[in-house]
Amino acid sequence: MTILENISLKNYNTFGIDVNAKRFITINSVDDLQQLLSEEKDLFLISGGSNMLLTKDIEKLVTHINIKGISIENEDDNFIEVTANAGENWHEFVLWSVENNYGGLENLSLIPGNIGTCPIQNIGAYGVEVKDTITKVIALEIETSELHTFSNQECNFDYRNSIFKNEVKDQFIIISVSFKLSKKNHTFHTSYGAIETELASKNIKNPTLKEISDAVIAIRKSKLPDPKKLGNSGSFFKNPVISVALFEKLIVEFPTIPSYKISETELKIPAGWLIEQAGFKGKRFGNCGVHEKQALVLVNYGNASGEEIVELAQKIQETILNTFGISLEIEVNVVT
């Protein structure tokens, strides 16, 4: 294990923010991680770097979790339980599952990031969340260096949320995630509008896993910027949940406001719509801006600092609060 000094993190975060790590180490195994923790515990973890906004140089030891490997845990005629280690790339794992005809992850194609971070924010897209397939998460406790298994239930999954963002935040390092996938009689989730339209445009009536994955890839490519070309962290804000009372007021002034009912008293509003209505979509502010095809995505045109992006986010939050009376919560992990 070698500690490198003064390493740029530009290629380690999908926003492409150029800050430095004073010290940087790559971890390839659980043994290495346990050895490191016996010497130093106050680490700054980085994996796929796809859900973070860095705003300054990192003083702590930046620890790049690069533990690889995919293994089969259990299998019968109908299901397979597969474990993937934290450093595996998410999308490559999804493609592997689709190629093997294992169902459950196809709607989550092309999401940036690695396996180790997928449970933290319970990644989701097109009507599916990763919590629907996760059976367990194995994580190393930083204080004791012991491995702990979290069952699906223990992970307390919620919309873009889990125990790893709350009760045990910063206490564990995720080592592997296990998934239960179908081998036949797959449950397809194609009712999400854009998927239906995409499949219909190709005249596909009974899609395969691969055809659904391809449809999702096509939709994402048409709306979401490729982080390799334009730095970004996916949706910057969560979709806000508002009361029916507020919604009834808003619909009078904004008759086209979209909404999804989540209970008798609450509705979810697409933040992208609010931001677009407020006039931000496609606007550039210095080195950063709001993506032209999906207003929920903030982008780095090349040389933005994290602070510039935070300022833009605050401007958007203020405008949305003043215009609609809705507080937008940042979904990305802002490192200050």
Q: Do 295 and 281 form a contact (C-beta atoms < 8 A)?
A: yes
Minimum distance, C-beta of residue 26 to ligand EPU, in the bound complex (Å): 26
Q: Of 23 and 238, which CB lies nearer to ligand EPU in the complex structure?
A: 238
Residues that bind ligand EPU (CB under 6 A): 125-126, 223, 234-235, 238-239, 258, 270, 272-273, 276, 281, 294-296, 331
Q: Of 32 and 292, which CB lies nearer to ligand EPU in the complex structure?
A: 292
Tokens 């992990």 belong to 333
* Length of the chain, in residues: 336
Q: Of 131 and 238, which CB lies nearer to ligand EPU in the complex structure?
A: 238
Minimum distance, C-beta of residue 125 to ligand EPU, in the bound complex (Å): 4
Q: Do 34 and 10 form a contact (C-beta atoms < 8 A)?
A: no
Distances 182 to 16, 137, 164 between C-alpha atoms, Å: 36, 19, 27
3-state secondary structure 137-200: EEEEECCCCCEEEEECHHHCCECCECHHHCCCCCCEEEEEEEEEEECCCCCCCCCCHHHHHHHH
How many alpha carbons lie under 13 Å from residue 71 in its C-beta half-sphere? 7
Minimum distance, C-beta of residue 185 to ligand EPU, in the bound complex (Å): 24
Minimum distance, C-beta of residue 272 to ligand EPU, in the bound complex (Å): 3
Closest CA to 136 of 158, 152, 114: 152
Tell me which of 88, 106, 129, 331 is the catalytic residue: 331
Sign of CA dihedral 305, 16, 47, 80: positive
160 is known as an active-site residue: yes
Residues 63, 65: Cα–Cα separation, whole Å: 6
Minimum distance, C-beta of residue 291 to ligand EPU, in the bound complex (Å): 8
Tell me which of 97, 178, 213, 235 is the catalytic residue: 235
Tell me the residue ranges of DSSP E strands in 51-141.
Answer: 52-54, 58-65, 70-75, 79-85, 124-125, 128-129, 134-141
Tell me which of 109, 160, 198, 305 is the catalytic residue: 160
Other CB atoms within 10 A of residue 22 CB: 15
What is the set of active-site residues?
Answer: 160, 235, 331
